[in-house]
Amino acid sequence: MSNSKFTTNELMAVTASRLLKDGQNIVVGLGLPQVATLLAKSTHAPHLNIIFEIGVVNPESVDTGVGIADPRLWYRSDYFTSFIGSLGHILQRGLVDVGFLGGLQIDKFGNINSTGVHEKDYFRHINGSGGAADIASYSKNIFAIAKHQKRKIVDMVDFITTVGYLNGGATRENSGLPKCKSIRIITNLCVMNFNNELREMQIESIHPGVTKDQIIENTGFDIKFAGDLKETDLPDDNEIYLLRNVIDPKKLYI
């Protein structure tokens, strides 16, 4: 434990990093997922393999990039391939342990929307899948980081860009997709999993200072709390030092 002050984003990055294991292959998106993965590799998981969907593996960038196509992110990479190389030869061969994503909305069955949202009488297109649909379809586990708001943690996403557990239970596998071992969602209020028969979102841990009522008020459906509910562990001094001085010194994401 530590008495150091930390930001919510720092807590989210630390919490996510601790869920990653040494030796895993991680396909990671830009932002807090990238920060969390780099932190894990700098601490307890030195043999973790970081894969960007563009085809860059294990970069050692000095500057924080502004997109996965930013060449500054590719510095001293172990391996350069392509979208086909990373998503085809690595991901679709079943070699990815964790797909680490973000999104506009996440629903109670872990489906992610990064395409667009309904606003009054029209559908506002925002972005799209990129490789997210493939990554969630073929990764053994899915992690996502999101802001905990009613419009983001919802009963049903406006558009399924990325399949989680589809309609719950075994519906994902029954639709023909590979089985997903676990999904974890890290927000600014809590950590959520789907470790129940219905494969429905439930609260695993609550961040320090956050109440159950805050979570309920900021969730777009009747959220469940796990029977073994706990408080999220605090970051330690070394993790905070690495985040602020090594991984994201310009504070682009934390």
The residues assigned a catalytic role are 53
Please report where in the chains the tokens 């969630």 appear, as a residue: 136
Element (H, E) at 51: strand 49-52
Angle at the Cα of 234 from the Cα atoms of 230 and 236, rounded to 5 degrees: 150
Q: What residues form DSSP beta bridges with 202?
A: 193, 224
Please report where in the chains the tokens 């961040």 appear, as a residue: 207
Dmax of the chain from CA atoms?
50
- The dihedral sign for the CA sequence 52, 54, 59, 62: negative
Q: In 10 A of CB 139, how many CB atoms?
A: 25
